[in-house]
Amino acid sequence: MGKQKIIVFSGAGVSAESGLGTFRDSGGLWEKYNIEEVATPEAWNKNPEMVTEFYNMRRKQCYESKPNAAHFAIAKLEEKFNVEVITQNIDDLHERGGSSKVIHLHGEISKVKSSGPNAEKKYFHQKNWEVKIGDKCEEGYQMRPHVVWFGEAVPMIDEAISRINSADIVIVVGTSLNVYPAAGILNYAPHNAKYYLIDPSEVSVPSYFNVIRDSASKGVPELVEKLLK
């Protein structure tokens, strides 16, 4: 019998204790900025400086942050399980915490790509935190964050669905499950899988979820401890 498969589906809450803001909690990012001004293709066309600045600030925070106990515990699961992380986060804390298989549904802040047509495949690692207006691709288009803006396609969604549909265990941590198609991948997990939700606040999930009402840095290591026994 091969190793059991665990899918971890994470959102901003798993990185909250690393100092990176969530979106819809009180004080969250969408309270300070409105999405239409910083996270849509229209925002980019209208004010690329503001959008570049917004992601520079988030990239700087990400590069200065560190994985927390939840990221490390998720990586530890790989000792005994076949683990794949499907995250909505654009930070690289799962990778830096040691996870070896991570799918970023909403892109990666550590990568930039051309804002020109069909630039999807050509993206580059952004070494330092600051992208400047004037950083252009070889066709002369301004470089933009390799992130999925509202209204843009989610290229990795089919890959994520094909991964979750053979899960034995699904662990959902740090997401309000408000955003689609990302949140919809849970509908493709096997109904006989075991489901866990780790979140300090009320998130509506079906009754077959084992709900752990706790922060990620406490709840995840405790669950991982149990699963590794």
Stretch that binds ligand APR, among 19-27, 49-57, 110-118, 162-170 (CB under 6 A): 19-27
Give the residue ranges of the annotated binding site: 11-30, 55, 58, 88-91, 174-176, 216
Say if residues 37 and 113 touch (Cβ distance below 8 Å). no
What is the per-residue binding string for ligand APR in 152-191, x denoting contact by CB under 6 A? ----------------------xxx-xx------------
Q: Verify whether residue 125 is a known catalytic residue.
A: no
Chain positions 77 to 106 lying near ligand APR, rule: CB under 6 A, are 88, 106
How far is Cα 195 from Cα 189, in angstroms, rounded to an integer?
9
What is the per-residue binding string for ligand APR in 102-141, x denoting contact by CB under 6 A? ----x-----------------------------------
How far is Cα 30 from Cα 22, in angstroms, rounded to an integer?
9
Decide if residue 203 touches ligand APR (CB under 6 A).
Answer: yes
Order of strands across the sheet that contains 209-212 = 102-104, 82-87, 5-10, 169-173, 194-198, 209-212
CA-to-CA separations, 114 to 46, 78, 124, in angstroms, rounded: 17, 35, 9
Q: How far is the CB of 17 from ligand APR (least distance, A)?
A: 5
Stretch that binds ligand APR, among 20-28, 118-126, 152-160, 187-195 (CB under 6 A): 20-28
What is the per-residue binding string for ligand APR in 29-48, x denoting contact by CB under 6 A? --------------------
Give the bridge partners for 82, in sequence order.
5
36 or 139, CB closer to ligand APR?
36
Catalytic residue among 106, 125, 146, 191: 106
Stretch that binds ligand APR, among 9-17, 40-48, 124-132, 155-163 (CB under 6 A): 9-17
Strands (E), 3-100: 5-10, 82-87
Decide if residue 67 touches ligand APR (CB under 6 A).
Answer: no
> DSSP code of 141?
P
Q: Which two three-digit tokens encode residue 2?
A: 């091969």
Sole residue written with tokens 């939840």: 70
What is the end-to-end Cα distance of the chain in Å, rounded?
18
Say if residues 10 and 174 touch (Cβ distance below 8 Å). yes
Catalytic residues: 106
Residues making contact with ligand APR (CB under 6 A): 11-13, 16-17, 22-25, 28, 88, 106, 174-176, 178-179, 199-201, 203, 215-216
